[in-house]
């Protein structure tokens, strides 16, 4: 049975605030926990006025403190922006506070523009090229203490954190396979290389002490409502936000609009079609059919559901409908077969 999880960007709405966005993320995680979603991830982005999760570990701490059993984590931390020791200390602290519940997804993209990346790192030289070494270094901080090891992470040593490799290209698939780690592919916004990435990861996977068999999680957009018309209307908030981002004009999440397609150029409609191909928009029957078809085509072990919806009640309702469509069961602390279980 495919597991469902939630990816949340802590969206700041045009009439909202960062505090409201983070509190709504926490409430969404609480709802997801009650509905049977497996994990709740937040993502690192910078210099984006519509996203409140830039200090990702802090945002995760806020969510984890308000939940009990759902796994919480980063989807992901953009490791080239940080020294591995800093991330080890942050997530070691989270694991100490919330044992057995912390995930750490690692990506090599900047999560922002080049100017902001330079402000984060002070230098861009060699950071991305060091990504595999940085991943191995970071993982080493969580292993048992070694006598010759001069630098250790406290908290971190001996803490349980589930590592993931993220990707939207073939690079992440290759690295996850080589290290024997679970792989999360960003098909919810970059589906072009999905099929080839899955093939590479599964064919080249090398079992490790952390994972015996390949485990794939795929991003999937869902905007669900009680009627097809309402779902199509609610979807326009997320579409507007992504179009503005792709045009270099990121902003706060806008309210939905009627007849958005009629306002778009042919090039914009083509852009929307390309980044929303892994999506379901509609009522419970549409979501059940399209989500089921996506799982059958890809063989995904886990689906990470994303949904940018302006109205809070409608956003909560969308995840309720998704849970109904997927026939989710009451939650377990660790699902059978989940990579965190060691199964």
The C-alpha atoms of residue 127 and residue 81 are separated, in whole angstroms, by: 8
Do residues 160 and 102 make contact, with C-beta atoms less than 8 angstroms apart?
yes
Query: Token match 């981002």: residue?
Result: 245
* pLDDT beneath 50: ranges in the chain: 126, 333-334, 336, 342-343
Residues of the domain holding 101: 3-341
pLDDT of 342 reads 41
Do residues 273 and 243 make contact, with C-beta atoms less than 8 angstroms apart?
no
pLDDT of 128 reads 58
What angle do the packed helices 131-140 and 84-97 form, to 10 degrees? 40
The C-alpha atoms of residue 173 and residue 205 are separated, in whole angstroms, by: 9
Query: Which tens digits make up the pLDDT trace of 268-277?
Result: 888 888 777 8
Q: Where residue 31 sits, what CATH number does that domain have?
A: 3.20.20.30
Query: Strands 183-185 and 39-42: what pairing?
Result: unpaired
Number of domains making up the chain = 1
Phi, psi of 100 (to 5 degrees): 75, 10
Do residues 307 and 8 make contact, with C-beta atoms less than 8 angstroms apart?
no
Q: Is the pTM of this model over 0.85?
A: yes
Burial 138-170 (b: 16+ CB within 10 A, else e): bbbbbeeeeeeeeebbebbbebebbbbbbbbbe
- How many of the other CB atoms lie within 10 Å of CB of 46? 17
pLDDT of 139 reads 96
């Amino acid at each position: 049975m495919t597991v469902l999880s939630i990816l949340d960007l802590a969206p700041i709405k045009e009439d909202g605030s960062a505090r409201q966005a983070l509190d709504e993320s926490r409430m969404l995680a609480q709802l997801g926990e009650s509905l049977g979603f497996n994990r709740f991830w937040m993502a690192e982005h910078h210099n984006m006025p519509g996203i409140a999760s830039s200090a990702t570990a802090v945002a995760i701490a806020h969510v984890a403190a308000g939940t009990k059993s759902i796994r919480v984590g980063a989807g992901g931390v953009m490791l080239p922006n940080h020294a591995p020791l800093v991330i080890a200390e942050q997530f070691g602290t989270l694991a100490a506070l919330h044992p057995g519940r912390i995930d750490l997804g690692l990506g090599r993209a900047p999560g922002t523009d080049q100017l902001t990346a330079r402000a984060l790192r002070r230098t861009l030289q060699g950071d991305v090229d060091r990504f595999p070494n940085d991943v191995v270094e970071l993982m080493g901080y969580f292993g048992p203490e070694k006598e010759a090891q001069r630098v250790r992470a406290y908290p971190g040593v001996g803490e349980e954190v589930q590592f993931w490799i993220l990707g939207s290209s073939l690079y992440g698939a290759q690295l996850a396979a080589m290290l024997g780690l679970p792989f999360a592919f960003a098909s919810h916004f970059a589906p072009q290389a999905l099929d080839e990435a899955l093939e590479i990861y599964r064919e080249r996977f090398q079992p490790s002490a952390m994972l015996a068999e390949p485990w794939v999680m795929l991003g999937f957009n869902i905007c669900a409502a009680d009627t097809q018309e309402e779902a199509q209307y609610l979807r326009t908030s997320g579409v507007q936000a992504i179009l503005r981002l792709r045009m270099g004009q990121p902003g706060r999440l806008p309210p939905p609009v009627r007849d958005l397609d009629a306002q778009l150029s042919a090039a914009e409609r083509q852009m929307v079609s390309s980044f929303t191909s892994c999506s379901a928009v509609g009522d419970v029957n549409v979501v059940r059919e399209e989500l089921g078809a996506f799982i059958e085509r890809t063989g995904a072990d886990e689906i990470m559901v994303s949904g940018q919806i302006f109205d809070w009640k409608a956003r909560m309702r969308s995840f309720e409908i998704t849970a109904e469509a997927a026939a989710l069961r009451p939650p377990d602390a660790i699902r059978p077969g989940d990579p965190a279980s060691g199964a």
